[in-house]
A = this chain, B = another copy of it.
Amino acid sequence: MSRTTIHDIARELKTSAATVSRALNDHPSISTATKESIRKAAQRLNYRQNRTASSLRSGKTFVVGVIVPSVQISFFGSVIHGIEQVIKNQGYNVLLFQTNEQYEDEVQGVQTLLQSNVDGIIASISKETIKYDHFLEVKHRNIPLVLFDRSIDELEVPAVVIDDYKGAFMATEHLIQQGYKRIAHISGPQHIRIFHERLRGYVDALKAYGHQVDGDLITYGKLSIDSGRACTQHLLRLAHPPDAIFAVEDFSALGALQVIKESPWSQPGQIGLVGFANEAFSAYITPSLTTIDQQTALMGQEAATIFMNLRQEESNPTGPPQKIVLEPTLVVRQSSLKRQETID
């Protein structure tokens, strides 16, 4: 019942384990006839390569570690999908680590992936992370590291992001063009670049259209439904409340929408709302959520492709790390459309 090894095949065919190994790996110096008979024997004996042994010897595991806050956020699920598409064809697999947005889990994840000898790591950092030693270790060990979406400039590693500034600008511009006058922003943790960029895009769009930037209308949330609720409650209680909200991501926007719907004096249609991320639920809520699409599958594919290229280079830092910036798209749905006020 114990598993077939290359030695079993070698014995069967009266050849050597080396030849069997070469044949199964399609090594050019093995004759076609030999390869053929070895392959047949392998199949007959139900041979399966022992990847662990192969990895130990060759130094390659064909495993890519993927670190994300949570697969339950459809954005990350979708990116993982894109990653898998690309690497599967090259014989790679995904070893998954969820951080639950916790710094400690992220550190532990990196350690585990290092111990597992992954051939590379593709990651999006947790919102709690403000120290990067664990990622620096990856870099110093010359293990290909690619960040996506939530990247960290100071790490100086390749990254795939969308143009968050531009996306935020478009979102805000859209609200302005709809005729909203006091546009608030629910932002996110500023140490993560993308959230800061979105804030910048918001501010610059207001300025570009001659709107005043009012610090009271900018709140800092935590990227969750509950946080979106809290921020919105705060905004609606202002002496001079907003007539529109641009939320830094869709979960915050969803929280905002809930509060808006519950509040008697602020129905949807009166308060414009735009999110960011085009989460799975965003098209189906009511009103459906106007948001910024991030080309998630493409983001995953690009990150995986960078890894594939990096993998060969082997520690020759050829200039600054590659950075791919994808174009955001505005997806207009109902939540941002301004209702005609003539009814009142």
Mark A residues whose CB is within 8 Å of B. Answer: 1, 3, 48-53, 55-56, 61, 63, 70-72, 74, 77-78, 80-81, 84, 93-98, 111-112, 114-117, 141-142, 254, 280-281, 284-286
Contact A117 B52 (CB under 8 A): yes
Nearest residue, chain B, Cβ from A116: B51
Report the separation of the CA atoms of residues A48 and B81 in the bound assembly, to the nearest whole angstrom: 30
User: For the complex, would chain A's binding face be called helix, strand, loop or mixed by DSSP majority?
Assistant: mixed
Counted per complex, copies of this chain come to 2
CA distance A115 to B47 in the complex (A): 10
Min CB–CB distance A333 → chain B (angstroms): 13
Asked whether B55 lies within 8 Å of A115 as measured between CB atoms, the reply is no
Docked-complex contact B116 and A93, CB < 8 angstroms: yes
Name the one of B1, B49, B52 contacting A55, with C-beta atoms under 8 angstroms. Answer: B52
Cβ-closest chain B residue relative to A113:
B93
CA distance A117 to B63 in the complex (A): 13
A110 to B84, CA, bound (A): 16
In the complex, the 8 A-B pairs of residues with the closest C-beta atoms, listed nearest first: A286-B286, A281-B281, A72-B77, A71-B77, A96-B96, A284-B285, A51-B115, A71-B71
Most buried by B among A1, A116, A142, A254: A116
- Other-chain residue from B1, B48, B115 in contact with A142 (beta carbon distance below 8 A): B1
Nearest-neighbour CB distance to chain B for A107, whole angstroms, equals 13
Could you tell me the distance between the alpha carbons of A231 and B123 in the complex, rounded to whole angstroms?
40
When distances are taken between beta carbons in the complex, the residues of chain B under 8 Å from A51 are: 115-117
Cβ–Cβ contact A72 & B63, under 8 A: no
Contact among B74, B95, B141 for A72, CB-based, below 8 A: B74
